[in-house]
Structure 1
Amino acid sequence: MTGENESRLQSPTKVPRLSLAALAPGLLLAATGVGAGDLATGAMAGSKLGTTVLWAVVVAAVLKYFVNEGLARWQLATGSTMLEGLAQRVGKITIWLFMPYLLFWSFFVAVALMGACGAAMNAMLPWPGDDPQKSAQIGRVVYGVLHSLVAVALIRVGGFVWFERVMSLLVGLMFCIVIGTALAIGPEWSEVLRGLVWPTIPHADGDGLSWTLALVGGIGGTVTILCYSYWMREDGREGKAWLATCRADLASGYGVTAAFGIAMVIIGSEFLSLEGDVSKGTRFLAGLGKEIESRLGAIGWYCRWGFLLGAWSAVFTSMLGVWQSVPKIFGECHGLLRPESRDSAWGEWIYGLLLASVPAVGLFVDFTSMQKTYSVVGAMFVPLAAAVLLYMNRRADWVGTLRSSLVTQVILALALLAFFVAGVYEAIS
């Protein structure tokens, strides 16, 4: 391990203090990860599989906590992000291999977020028209594009300070409302407990495993995990002394994520009776809102609007987080492949504009299919990140005393094995 890294581990740039403000990066991560995956995929998986798959939400949150903790370890030990570490220690070929996946994932996540924002807004302010199905489709497209433009404006004009403030406000709103809605519905708590502690994958017409994988992939973010590195830098985190703070804010962020995902699966599972056009596509959230209103009697109207507002907050915060941070991932990859342009922001700027505009063409694809595709594609990133961390963070000559613990290595290895087995099973099926 170099003398520079040893100095970094022993002498943090500032003394970390565990406070509410110190949890901000973890909550930003939760807000970015809690979006189209947790909201729509969670509710749809719940409506198809019931509460039997609640364990998958917990597994997703735990796995992604350990993956992100590993990324934080590497950065605190070396001062470089994991992408920089791969380029330096393994070779730039890893970045060339990652770039196509990033482009592919970016398209699907952008379509899913635009669609989810559009569907949430259309559920509150339905697009006028005689044909509800067609009007819902038009509303999803128009509202989705408008949300994308507003998100770009907020990020570019307000900067990181306004981004952090807006995200914090909407995170609190979505958490309180959606958790409150799940509690107000009053599910069968014995079934909820069984779903949390007893792993089961329902058959669901042969679609149970893929929906379970989509749930694991969608809950808590996928490639957006890498964004935590940039928020660590914004907060000035460097050196071993920051590890406890990173663990605390990651635990709080993934705690929020798990609670939100569980609530959405419960809400979806309570309305297994949704059928026809309302059970899928652009009218899914509106259908859920109406079912909540009819189920809860006198307070139903307030709960319906509260749920829809919380759902909108969830997906819009996710859009803000992705629009703000994913271009940074592309900018970093571009700089690693072309060092001469490393200090230029044009690549990041152009990628941000393309991310917020080009994927709008995918809004004409079925909403349910796009949500599932996005989540499954995202799930592929988890075993990839686990494999990288198993290799990079075991090297004491690279990370010193911040090398991964045996517990972390076992959990990452199990994640890698589980996704491999599930992938083989899906391929055979």
Structure 2
Amino acid sequence: MASSTSVEQTTVPRWKIIGPGLVVAATGVGAADLVATLIAGQKFGYTLLWCVVVGCLMKIVLVEGAGRYSLSTGKTIFEGWRSLGIWTTWYFAPYIVIWGFVYGAAAMAGTGLALQGLFGGLSTTWWGIASGLIGLALVWTGRYSVFEKVLAALVGIMFVTMVGAALLTLPNLGELLTGLAPRIPDGGLVNTLALAGGVGGTITLAAYGYWLREKGWSTPTYMRVMRIDNTVAYVVTGLFVLATLVVGAELLYSTSVAIESGDAGLLDLGLVLQDRYGQWAGKLFLLGFWAAAMSSLVGVWNGVSLMFADFVTIVRGGVSEDADARAGGKWYKAYLLWLTFPPMAMLFLGKPVWLFLAYGVLGAFFMPFLAVTLLWLLNTDRTPVEWRNKLHSNVLMVIIALAFLALCVNEVRKAIAGA
């Protein structure tokens, strides 16, 4: 049976095996990441281009590790964390609850802002609520094939519009290539770490194993397919982020135009494009902005709900194969409702400072947590010998863990200082 599966994988056209990787990469690039990249281009031109490459490599390594663990063991990432001790549950439980509440509001606000800029009429709040309800409807039944097609369409829109905007600015190829030389500009350390860390997701990286399972890839015979899927997805993401950096460098850095931080910065850029190239260019960019925001919303609504369902089921004494731990189960739907309805109140009432402080601090710890726990899982008997980390994987994961630890310290310092 295993050999026939292997043969089947080698004869399937390459484009048909691209799926969960594109989902995890698209989910991880939202409006906030676009703004961070644009501001990096605005401040430093092409100087931090190499960070885009490094960021993609970092995420390829981490997501490959998460996928390798799931395929080689048949276990979910939360089952792996649970095997490391109760401390992982004590971290993850408050994180996924608080993160979901705050992210739900941020995701709806981001999509609402894009739609308000595109069509007007309703306020950002009501457009955001409509987006949240659409996301809820798209993933409520948990049908992965439908979900993957929706994400693929949104990725297509993101890619075409942002790469189109970059080509429209006629980038300086000579300066572009100089940005591949690693260097950190004065005062640019935080931007450097943030740009590298922001290419392609945080908690959604850990959802990769769940999407592999929903796709039907659940044994080591899919290892090669998973690696192709993961690599292609982050190359596409890298090109998308590169295009965003080009737009920031050519339209903002070269002309000393500043944009706001936060999602509103994307509206500013839409106006810059509109003034320079016509209304159609601004609208096209806003369409890409919406696609990026909506892909993150839909991806999180599905992927993190899968993680929550698995988490609750296992904590309650069940196993990951139980219906309650899968898409469409009661815990999956409960988290979907948590992501959608309670955060709507924040769109009307504002941002409670203490909640955003907790969100910032807990969130800053997630990437070091993921890197360290993957190192632990992939170097011990929790993973079959042939699929454990090789030397190069360990070296890369240690470097990644240290980089994210530095970013974590900075984010915690900022969160506490701003409290």
TM range (shorter): 0.7 to 0.9
Determine if the alignment matches structure 1 residue 61 to structure 2 residue 41.
no
Aligned to 1:339: 317
Aligned to 1:399: 384
Question: What are the Cα deviations for residues 130-181 of structure 1, in whole angstroms up to 9, with x where unaligned?
Answer: xxxxxxxxx2222111100111112226833322222212211211111111
Q: Which of residues 209, 212, 216 is equivalent to 1:229?
A: 209
Q: Which of residues 413, 417, 422 is equivalent to 2:398?
A: 413
Aligned to 1:348: 332
Aligned to 2:248: 268
| C-alpha separation in 2, matches of 1:326 and 1:230 | 9
| Partner AA of 2:217 in structure 1 | R
| C-alpha separation in 1, matches of 2:17 and 2:233 | 12
Aligned to 2:97: 103
Question: What are the Cα deviations for residues 291-314 of structure 1, in whole angstroms up to 9, with x where unaligned?
Answer: 112333xxx333222211122111
Give 1:27-426 correspondences, 5 Å limit. 27-87=22-82, 89-127=83-121, 139-156=123-140, 159-203=143-187, 208-269=188-249, 270-272=251-253, 273-275=256-258, 279-281=260-262, 283-296=264-277, 300-340=278-318, 343-344=323-324, 345-363=329-347, 378=363, 380-395=365-380, 398-424=383-409
Determine if the alignment matches structure 1 residue 16 to structure 2 residue 1.
no
- TM-score of the aligned structures, taking structure 2 as reference length: 0.85
Which segment drifts farther, 17-26 or 114-123? 17-26
- Note closer, same or farther for the CA distance 1:379–1:59 as it changes in structure 2 (3 Å cut): farther
**Unaligned ranges ≥5, structure 2:** 415-419
**Unaligned ranges ≥5, structure 1:** 1-6, 129-138
- Note closer, same or farther for the CA distance 1:209–1:322 as it changes in structure 2 (3 Å cut): same
| C-alpha separation in 1, matches of 2:189 and 2:359 | 16
**SS of structure 1 residue aligned to 2:120:** coil
Identity fraction in percent: 34
Native 8 Å contact 1:35 1:314 kept in 2: yes
| Partner AA of 1:225 in structure 2 | L
Native 8 Å contact 1:390 1:409 kept in 2: yes
| C-alpha separation in 2, matches of 1:104 and 1:47 | 32
Aligned to 1:3: none
Question: What are the Cα deviations for residues 253-301 of structure 1, in whole angstroms up to 9, with x where unaligned?
Answer: 11111111121122233224445xx6345642222112112333xxx33
- TM-score of the aligned structures, taking structure 1 as reference length: 0.83
| C-alpha separation in 2, matches of 1:214 and 1:375 | 14
| C-alpha separation in 2, matches of 1:318 and 1:97 | 23
Q: Displacement, 1:122? A: 1.5
Native 8 Å contact 1:327 1:351 kept in 2: yes
The higher-RCO structure (CA 8 Å, 6+ apart) is 1
| Partner AA of 2:179 in structure 1 | G
Q: How many residues align?
A: 399
| C-alpha separation in 1, matches of 2:36 and 2:332 | 29
- Note closer, same or farther for the CA distance 1:319–1:86 as it changes in structure 2 (3 Å cut): same
Q: Displacement, 1:422? A: 4.6
| Partner AA of 1:110 in structure 2 | G
Native 8 Å contact 1:37 1:219 kept in 2: no
| C-alpha separation in 2, matches of 1:390 and 1:266 | 35
Q: Displacement, 1:220? A: 0.2
Native 8 Å contact 1:107 1:355 kept in 2: yes
| Partner AA of 1:352 in structure 2 | L
| C-alpha separation in 2, matches of 1:329 and 1:406 | 30
| C-alpha separation in 1, matches of 2:168 and 2:391 | 42
Q: Displacement, 1:63? A: 0.9
Native 8 Å contact 2:206 2:370 kept in 1: no
Question: What are the Cα deviations for residues 164-206 of structure 1, in whole angstroms up to 9, with x where unaligned?
Answer: 2222122112111111111211233333323333231442xxx
- Note closer, same or farther for the CA distance 1:159–1:48 as it changes in structure 2 (3 Å cut): same
Question: What are the Cα deviations for residues 34-60 of structure 1, in whole angstroms up to 9, with x where unaligned?
Answer: 223432332234334433222222222
| C-alpha separation in 2, matches of 1:101 and 1:145 | 23
Q: Displacement, 1:351? A: 1.3
| Partner AA of 1:284 in structure 2 | G
Question: What are the Cα deviations for residues 202-239 of structure 1, in whole angstroms up to 9, with x where unaligned?
Answer: 42xxxx44444333333201100122112211222233
- Note closer, same or farther for the CA distance 1:254–1:306 as it changes in structure 2 (3 Å cut): same
Native 8 Å contact 1:119 1:285 kept in 2: no
